[in-house]
Structure 1
Amino acid sequence: MNGVRRNVNRVLLGLAGLVLTVIGGAVLAAGLGANVPSWWPWDGTDDVLLSEADRDRWRDSGWWWPTVIAVLAVVLVLALWWLLAQLRSARLSEVLVDSGDGEGALLRGRALEGVLSDEAGTLDGVSRAQAVLTGRRNAPRARVRLLMEPHAAPDQALRGLADQALAHARDSAGLDELPAEVRLKAVKHRAERVS
Protein backbone atom coordinates (compact mmCIF):
# COMPACT_ATOMS: atom_id res chain seq x y z
CA MET A 1 0.00 0.00 0.00
CA ASN A 2 2.86 2.37 0.82
CA GLY A 3 4.39 1.78 -2.64
CA VAL A 4 1.07 2.59 -4.34
CA ARG A 5 0.76 5.81 -2.35
CA ARG A 6 4.35 6.75 -3.24
CA ASN A 7 3.65 6.12 -6.95
CA VAL A 8 0.43 8.18 -6.84
CA ASN A 9 2.32 11.01 -5.13
CA ARG A 10 5.01 10.93 -7.79
CA VAL A 11 2.46 10.96 -10.61
CA LEU A 12 0.57 13.89 -9.03
CA LEU A 13 3.81 15.77 -8.45
CA GLY A 14 4.83 15.16 -12.07
CA LEU A 15 1.46 16.35 -13.38
CA ALA A 16 1.57 19.48 -11.21
CA GLY A 17 5.07 20.22 -12.47
CA LEU A 18 4.01 19.65 -16.07
CA VAL A 19 1.00 21.98 -15.77
CA LEU A 20 3.07 24.71 -14.12
CA THR A 21 5.80 24.34 -16.74
CA VAL A 22 3.30 24.61 -19.61
CA ILE A 23 1.62 27.68 -18.10
CA GLY A 24 4.95 29.34 -17.32
CA GLY A 25 6.25 28.55 -20.80
CA ALA A 26 3.12 29.99 -22.41
CA VAL A 27 3.39 33.21 -20.36
CA LEU A 28 7.08 33.47 -21.25
CA ALA A 29 6.34 32.85 -24.94
CA ALA A 30 3.67 35.57 -24.93
CA GLY A 31 6.05 37.95 -23.16
CA LEU A 32 8.73 37.32 -25.78
CA GLY A 33 6.26 38.06 -28.59
CA ALA A 34 5.75 34.52 -29.87
CA ASN A 35 2.45 33.51 -31.43
CA VAL A 36 0.01 32.20 -28.82
CA PRO A 37 -3.56 30.94 -29.27
CA SER A 38 -6.28 33.58 -29.52
CA TRP A 39 -7.97 32.39 -26.33
CA TRP A 40 -4.82 32.97 -24.26
CA PRO A 41 -5.43 35.97 -21.94
CA TRP A 42 -1.93 37.46 -22.41
CA ASP A 43 -1.03 37.81 -26.04
CA GLY A 44 1.45 40.63 -26.36
CA THR A 45 4.76 41.86 -25.06
CA ASP A 46 3.01 44.83 -23.38
CA ASP A 47 0.47 42.71 -21.47
CA VAL A 48 0.92 42.18 -17.75
CA LEU A 49 -0.39 39.47 -15.45
CA LEU A 50 -1.95 41.98 -13.05
CA SER A 51 -3.10 45.29 -14.47
CA GLU A 52 -2.75 48.47 -12.44
CA ALA A 53 -6.49 48.42 -11.78
CA ASP A 54 -6.22 44.84 -10.41
CA ARG A 55 -3.30 45.80 -8.19
CA ASP A 56 -5.03 48.95 -6.90
CA ARG A 57 -8.38 47.27 -6.25
CA TRP A 58 -7.25 45.95 -2.85
CA ARG A 59 -4.87 48.79 -1.93
CA ASP A 60 -7.21 50.16 0.76
CA SER A 61 -7.40 46.73 2.41
CA GLY A 62 -4.12 46.48 4.27
CA TRP A 63 -4.57 42.76 4.87
CA TRP A 64 -4.84 41.72 1.20
CA TRP A 65 -1.25 41.67 -0.09
CA PRO A 66 0.32 40.28 3.12
CA THR A 67 -2.29 37.52 3.07
CA VAL A 68 -1.62 36.73 -0.59
CA ILE A 69 2.13 36.61 0.03
CA ALA A 70 1.69 34.44 3.16
CA VAL A 71 -0.58 31.96 1.35
CA LEU A 72 1.84 31.73 -1.58
CA ALA A 73 4.75 31.18 0.83
CA VAL A 74 2.84 28.37 2.60
CA VAL A 75 1.98 26.78 -0.76
CA LEU A 76 5.65 26.96 -1.79
CA VAL A 77 6.85 25.40 1.49
CA LEU A 78 4.26 22.61 1.24
CA ALA A 79 5.22 21.91 -2.38
CA LEU A 80 8.91 21.74 -1.46
CA TRP A 81 8.13 19.46 1.50
CA TRP A 82 6.09 17.19 -0.78
CA LEU A 83 8.91 17.07 -3.32
CA LEU A 84 11.50 16.21 -0.67
CA ALA A 85 9.20 13.53 0.75
CA GLN A 86 9.12 11.88 -2.68
CA LEU A 87 12.89 11.95 -2.99
CA ARG A 88 13.49 10.63 0.51
CA SER A 89 14.69 7.06 0.63
CA ALA A 90 12.46 4.46 2.21
CA ARG A 91 15.61 2.89 3.68
CA LEU A 92 15.50 2.35 7.44
CA SER A 93 18.22 4.32 9.23
CA GLU A 94 18.01 2.56 12.60
CA VAL A 95 16.51 -0.53 14.23
CA LEU A 96 15.24 -0.67 17.79
CA VAL A 97 16.98 -3.59 19.54
CA ASP A 98 15.54 -5.17 22.68
CA SER A 99 18.47 -5.05 25.09
CA GLY A 100 16.59 -6.92 27.83
CA ASP A 101 16.76 -4.07 30.35
CA GLY A 102 13.52 -2.44 29.25
CA GLU A 103 15.35 0.51 27.72
CA GLY A 104 16.29 -0.82 24.31
CA ALA A 105 19.11 0.28 22.05
CA LEU A 106 19.39 1.62 18.53
CA LEU A 107 21.31 -0.27 15.87
CA ARG A 108 22.30 1.47 12.65
CA GLY A 109 20.24 0.08 9.81
CA ARG A 110 23.22 0.07 7.45
CA ALA A 111 25.21 -2.06 9.89
CA LEU A 112 22.49 -4.72 9.99
CA GLU A 113 22.14 -4.50 6.20
CA GLY A 114 25.88 -5.04 5.79
CA VAL A 115 25.95 -8.10 8.04
CA LEU A 116 22.87 -9.54 6.34
CA SER A 117 24.37 -8.92 2.88
CA ASP A 118 27.73 -10.44 3.87
CA GLU A 119 26.19 -13.57 5.34
CA ALA A 120 23.77 -14.02 2.43
CA GLY A 121 26.69 -13.61 0.02
CA THR A 122 28.43 -16.64 1.55
CA LEU A 123 25.55 -19.01 0.76
CA ASP A 124 26.23 -21.74 -1.75
CA GLY A 125 25.45 -20.58 -5.28
CA VAL A 126 25.16 -16.91 -4.38
CA SER A 127 27.62 -14.67 -6.21
CA ARG A 128 26.61 -11.44 -4.47
CA ALA A 129 23.87 -10.28 -2.11
CA GLN A 130 22.42 -6.90 -1.27
CA ALA A 131 20.04 -6.23 1.61
CA VAL A 132 18.01 -3.11 2.35
CA LEU A 133 15.89 -2.58 5.46
CA THR A 134 12.55 -0.79 5.18
CA GLY A 135 9.54 -0.39 7.44
CA ARG A 136 9.52 0.97 10.97
CA ARG A 137 12.41 0.80 13.41
CA ASN A 138 10.52 -1.54 15.73
CA ALA A 139 9.16 -3.65 12.85
CA PRO A 140 11.76 -3.73 10.04
CA ARG A 141 11.35 -5.54 6.76
CA ALA A 142 14.17 -6.75 4.56
CA ARG A 143 14.50 -6.56 0.78
CA VAL A 144 17.22 -8.92 -0.36
CA ARG A 145 18.61 -9.29 -3.87
CA LEU A 146 20.63 -12.40 -4.60
CA LEU A 147 22.81 -12.68 -7.68
CA MET A 148 22.85 -16.41 -8.39
CA GLU A 149 25.59 -18.48 -10.01
CA PRO A 150 24.53 -20.70 -12.96
CA HIS A 151 24.89 -23.90 -10.90
CA ALA A 152 22.85 -22.59 -7.94
CA ALA A 153 19.61 -24.15 -6.76
CA PRO A 154 17.22 -21.31 -5.91
CA ASP A 155 15.27 -23.31 -3.34
CA GLN A 156 18.45 -24.13 -1.40
CA ALA A 157 19.58 -20.51 -1.53
CA LEU A 158 16.20 -19.31 -0.23
CA ARG A 159 16.19 -21.95 2.52
CA GLY A 160 19.73 -20.99 3.52
CA LEU A 161 18.80 -17.30 3.54
CA ALA A 162 15.78 -17.93 5.76
CA ASP A 163 17.47 -20.42 8.11
CA GLN A 164 20.82 -18.67 8.41
CA ALA A 165 21.20 -15.03 7.39
CA LEU A 166 17.68 -13.81 8.20
CA ALA A 167 17.44 -15.92 11.36
CA HIS A 168 20.77 -14.62 12.65
CA ALA A 169 19.80 -11.01 11.88
CA ARG A 170 16.41 -11.47 13.55
CA ASP A 171 17.91 -13.11 16.65
CA SER A 172 20.77 -10.63 17.02
CA ALA A 173 18.38 -7.67 16.86
CA GLY A 174 15.90 -9.35 19.24
CA LEU A 175 13.09 -9.14 16.71
CA ASP A 176 10.04 -11.42 16.82
CA GLU A 177 10.03 -11.55 13.04
CA LEU A 178 11.92 -10.17 10.08
CA PRO A 179 9.78 -10.51 6.95
CA ALA A 180 11.75 -10.44 3.73
CA GLU A 181 11.13 -9.93 0.05
CA VAL A 182 13.78 -11.79 -1.94
CA ARG A 183 14.62 -11.24 -5.59
CA LEU A 184 16.81 -13.68 -7.43
CA LYS A 185 18.79 -12.82 -10.52
CA ALA A 186 21.15 -15.00 -12.52
CA VAL A 187 24.74 -13.98 -13.13
CA LYS A 188 25.44 -13.28 -16.80
CA HIS A 189 28.84 -14.57 -17.79
CA ARG A 190 30.44 -13.35 -20.96
CA ALA A 191 31.30 -16.04 -23.43
CA GLU A 192 35.01 -16.66 -23.73
CA ARG A 193 36.79 -17.99 -26.79
CA VAL A 194 38.62 -21.24 -26.23
CA SER A 195 41.62 -21.81 -28.45
Structure 2
Amino acid sequence: MLRIVNRVLIGIIGLALVALGGSVLAVGLGLKPPPWWIHDGRKDVLLSYAERTRWRDDGWWWPTVVAALAVLVLLALWWLAAVLRRRRLAEVLVDTGDGEGALLRGRALEGVLASEARQLDGVAQAHVLLTGRRSTPEARVRLLVEPHVDPGAALHLLTAEALAHARDSAGLAALPAEVRLRGVKHRAERVS
Protein backbone atom coordinates (compact mmCIF):
# COMPACT_ATOMS: atom_id res chain seq x y z
CA MET A 1 0.00 0.00 0.00
CA LEU A 2 2.81 2.38 0.90
CA ARG A 3 4.47 1.66 -2.45
CA ILE A 4 1.29 2.65 -4.34
CA VAL A 5 0.86 5.87 -2.33
CA ASN A 6 4.53 6.67 -2.86
CA ARG A 7 4.33 6.21 -6.62
CA VAL A 8 1.12 8.24 -6.90
CA LEU A 9 2.60 11.12 -4.86
CA ILE A 10 5.83 11.11 -6.85
CA GLY A 11 3.84 11.04 -10.10
CA ILE A 12 1.59 13.95 -9.09
CA ILE A 13 4.49 16.07 -7.84
CA GLY A 14 6.53 15.25 -10.96
CA LEU A 15 3.68 16.16 -13.30
CA ALA A 16 3.06 19.44 -11.45
CA LEU A 17 6.75 20.37 -11.59
CA VAL A 18 7.04 19.48 -15.28
CA ALA A 19 3.89 21.45 -16.12
CA LEU A 20 4.97 24.51 -14.13
CA GLY A 21 8.58 24.43 -15.35
CA GLY A 22 7.54 23.78 -18.96
CA SER A 23 5.06 26.63 -18.93
CA VAL A 24 7.60 29.05 -17.43
CA LEU A 25 10.13 27.93 -20.05
CA ALA A 26 7.58 28.36 -22.85
CA VAL A 27 6.67 31.88 -21.70
CA GLY A 28 10.38 32.71 -21.31
CA LEU A 29 10.99 31.58 -24.91
CA GLY A 30 8.31 33.99 -26.15
CA LEU A 31 5.10 31.92 -26.25
CA LYS A 32 1.98 33.93 -25.42
CA PRO A 33 0.44 32.62 -22.15
CA PRO A 34 -3.32 32.44 -21.53
CA PRO A 35 -4.83 35.46 -19.73
CA TRP A 36 -5.37 33.56 -16.46
CA TRP A 37 -1.69 32.51 -16.16
CA ILE A 38 0.43 33.75 -13.23
CA HIS A 39 2.74 35.90 -15.35
CA ASP A 40 2.15 37.77 -18.57
CA GLY A 41 5.21 37.67 -20.72
CA ARG A 42 8.92 37.34 -21.22
CA LYS A 43 9.92 40.34 -19.09
CA ASP A 44 7.44 39.62 -16.29
CA VAL A 45 8.56 38.13 -12.95
CA LEU A 46 6.66 35.61 -10.89
CA LEU A 47 6.65 37.79 -7.75
CA SER A 48 6.83 41.57 -8.07
CA TYR A 49 8.79 43.77 -5.69
CA ALA A 50 5.60 44.80 -3.91
CA GLU A 51 4.52 41.17 -3.41
CA ARG A 52 7.96 40.18 -2.13
CA THR A 53 8.16 43.00 0.43
CA ARG A 54 4.51 43.23 1.51
CA TRP A 55 4.93 41.64 4.97
CA ARG A 56 8.62 42.30 5.51
CA ASP A 57 8.04 44.70 8.40
CA ASP A 58 5.57 42.44 10.23
CA GLY A 59 7.14 40.48 13.07
CA TRP A 60 5.33 37.22 12.31
CA TRP A 61 6.28 36.92 8.64
CA TRP A 62 9.86 35.62 8.67
CA PRO A 63 9.40 33.14 11.56
CA THR A 64 6.34 31.75 9.75
CA VAL A 65 8.22 31.40 6.47
CA VAL A 66 11.20 29.73 8.16
CA ALA A 67 8.94 27.37 10.15
CA ALA A 68 6.95 26.36 7.04
CA LEU A 69 10.13 25.70 5.07
CA ALA A 70 11.60 23.71 7.97
CA VAL A 71 8.47 21.54 8.11
CA LEU A 72 8.67 20.98 4.34
CA VAL A 73 12.33 19.97 4.60
CA LEU A 74 11.62 17.57 7.48
CA LEU A 75 8.72 16.00 5.57
CA ALA A 76 10.90 15.59 2.48
CA LEU A 77 13.69 13.97 4.54
CA TRP A 78 11.20 11.62 6.23
CA TRP A 79 9.81 10.63 2.83
CA LEU A 80 13.31 10.06 1.45
CA ALA A 81 14.24 7.89 4.44
CA ALA A 82 11.04 5.85 4.00
CA VAL A 83 11.79 5.32 0.30
CA LEU A 84 15.45 4.38 0.78
CA ARG A 85 14.95 2.09 3.78
CA ARG A 86 15.54 -1.53 2.91
CA ARG A 87 12.55 -3.79 3.34
CA ARG A 88 14.42 -7.04 2.71
CA LEU A 89 17.10 -8.48 4.97
CA ALA A 90 20.35 -8.86 3.02
CA GLU A 91 22.11 -11.35 5.30
CA VAL A 92 21.52 -13.45 8.41
CA LEU A 93 24.15 -13.98 11.09
CA VAL A 94 24.55 -17.72 11.71
CA ASP A 95 26.06 -18.91 14.98
CA THR A 96 28.63 -21.57 14.09
CA GLY A 97 29.10 -22.68 17.70
CA ASP A 98 32.83 -21.95 17.91
CA GLY A 99 32.52 -18.33 18.98
CA GLU A 100 32.71 -17.19 15.39
CA GLY A 101 29.85 -16.37 13.08
CA ALA A 102 29.02 -16.83 9.44
CA LEU A 103 26.84 -14.77 7.16
CA LEU A 104 24.04 -16.39 5.19
CA ARG A 105 22.47 -14.53 2.29
CA GLY A 106 18.92 -13.54 3.16
CA ARG A 107 17.63 -14.43 -0.30
CA ALA A 108 19.07 -17.93 0.01
CA LEU A 109 17.23 -18.53 3.27
CA GLU A 110 14.06 -17.03 1.76
CA GLY A 111 14.32 -19.35 -1.24
CA VAL A 112 14.85 -22.48 0.85
CA LEU A 113 12.03 -21.55 3.21
CA ALA A 114 9.66 -20.83 0.29
CA SER A 115 10.52 -24.09 -1.51
CA GLU A 116 10.00 -26.12 1.65
CA ALA A 117 6.68 -24.37 2.27
CA ARG A 118 5.60 -25.14 -1.32
CA GLN A 119 6.21 -28.82 -0.69
CA LEU A 120 3.67 -28.88 2.15
CA ASP A 121 0.40 -30.67 1.43
CA GLY A 122 -2.11 -28.35 -0.24
CA VAL A 123 0.15 -25.32 -0.68
CA ALA A 124 0.00 -24.01 -4.25
CA GLN A 125 2.42 -21.10 -3.89
CA ALA A 126 4.63 -19.66 -1.15
CA HIS A 127 6.44 -16.35 -0.92
CA VAL A 128 8.85 -15.49 1.93
CA LEU A 129 10.39 -12.13 2.86
CA LEU A 130 12.94 -11.75 5.67
CA THR A 131 12.94 -8.48 7.61
CA GLY A 132 14.40 -7.27 10.90
CA ARG A 133 18.03 -7.35 11.98
CA ARG A 134 20.59 -9.86 10.80
CA SER A 135 20.93 -11.37 14.28
CA THR A 136 17.16 -11.47 14.90
CA PRO A 137 15.40 -11.95 11.56
CA GLU A 138 11.65 -12.07 11.11
CA ALA A 139 9.80 -13.82 8.30
CA ARG A 140 6.76 -12.68 6.36
CA VAL A 141 5.18 -15.66 4.66
CA ARG A 142 2.33 -15.62 2.14
CA LEU A 143 0.78 -18.96 1.31
CA LEU A 144 -1.70 -19.71 -1.45
CA VAL A 145 -3.53 -22.84 -0.30
CA GLU A 146 -5.87 -25.20 -2.11
CA PRO A 147 -9.58 -25.04 -1.20
CA HIS A 148 -9.59 -28.46 0.50
CA VAL A 149 -6.85 -27.55 3.00
CA ASP A 150 -7.63 -26.64 6.59
CA PRO A 151 -5.88 -23.29 7.29
CA GLY A 152 -5.02 -24.33 10.84
CA ALA A 153 -3.38 -27.51 9.65
CA ALA A 154 -1.42 -25.64 6.97
CA LEU A 155 -0.23 -23.11 9.54
CA HIS A 156 0.77 -25.88 11.95
CA LEU A 157 2.73 -27.72 9.24
CA LEU A 158 4.48 -24.49 8.23
CA THR A 159 5.56 -23.66 11.77
CA ALA A 160 6.42 -27.25 12.76
CA GLU A 161 8.37 -28.10 9.63
CA ALA A 162 9.53 -25.26 7.36
CA LEU A 163 10.03 -22.51 9.94
CA ALA A 164 11.51 -24.91 12.50
CA HIS A 165 14.02 -26.23 9.92
CA ALA A 166 15.02 -22.70 8.92
CA ARG A 167 15.41 -21.64 12.56
CA ASP A 168 17.46 -24.70 13.48
CA SER A 169 19.68 -24.64 10.38
CA ALA A 170 20.53 -20.96 10.88
CA GLY A 171 21.15 -21.48 14.61
CA LEU A 172 18.59 -18.84 15.59
CA ALA A 173 16.98 -18.73 19.02
CA ALA A 174 13.67 -17.70 17.45
CA LEU A 175 12.27 -16.97 14.01
CA PRO A 176 9.04 -15.03 14.45
CA ALA A 177 6.80 -15.14 11.41
CA GLU A 178 3.76 -13.32 10.11
CA VAL A 179 1.83 -15.75 7.92
CA ARG A 180 -0.92 -14.73 5.51
CA LEU A 181 -3.05 -17.45 4.00
CA ARG A 182 -5.15 -17.05 0.88
CA GLY A 183 -7.22 -19.61 -0.91
CA VAL A 184 -6.80 -20.51 -4.56
CA LYS A 185 -9.69 -19.33 -6.71
CA HIS A 186 -10.51 -21.71 -9.52
CA ARG A 187 -12.50 -20.61 -12.54
CA ALA A 188 -15.74 -22.40 -13.14
CA GLU A 189 -15.51 -24.81 -16.03
CA ARG A 190 -18.34 -26.25 -18.02
CA VAL A 191 -18.65 -30.00 -17.81
CA SER A 192 -20.08 -31.71 -20.87
TM-score w.r.t. the length of structure 1 is: 0.67
Shift, 1:14, TM fit: 6.3
Asked if 1:132 corresponds to 2:129, the answer is yes
Equivalent position amino acid for 1:168 in 2: H
Aligned residues: 163
Does the C-alpha gap of structure 1 residues 7 and 186 become closer, same or farther in structure 2, counting only changes over 3 Å? closer
Structure 1: segments with no counterpart, 5+ residues: 50-78
- Rounded to whole Å, the distance in 2 between the matches of 1:194 and 1:11 is 44
Equivalent position amino acid for 1:113 in 2: E
Does the C-alpha gap of structure 1 residues 162 and 36 become closer, same or farther in structure 2, counting only changes over 3 Å? farther
Give the CA RMSD over aligned residues. 3.6
Does the C-alpha gap of structure 1 residues 187 and 8 become closer, same or farther in structure 2, counting only changes over 3 Å? closer
- Rounded to whole Å, the distance in 2 between the matches of 1:7 and 1:140 is 26
1:154 aligns with 151
Does the C-alpha gap of structure 1 residues 171 and 15 become closer, same or farther in structure 2, counting only changes over 3 Å? same
1:146–1:183 contact (8 Å) kept in structure 2:
yes
1:129–1:144 contact (8 Å) kept in structure 2:
yes
- Rounded to whole Å, the distance in 2 between the matches of 1:33 and 1:44 is 7
1:43-62 alignment to 2 at 5 Å? 43-47=40-44
1:114-133 alignment to 2 at 5 Å? 114-133=111-130
- Rounded to whole Å, the distance in 1 between the matches of 2:41 and 2:156 is 70
2:104 aligns with 107
Does the C-alpha gap of structure 1 residues 135 and 185 become closer, same or farther in structure 2, counting only changes over 3 Å? same
TM-score w.r.t. the length of structure 2 is: 0.68
1:129-188 Cα distance to aligned partner (Å, 9 max, x none): 111111221121111110010100000111111111111111111111111111111111
Asked if 1:96 corresponds to 2:81, the answer is no
Structure 2: segments with no counterpart, 5+ residues: 47-75
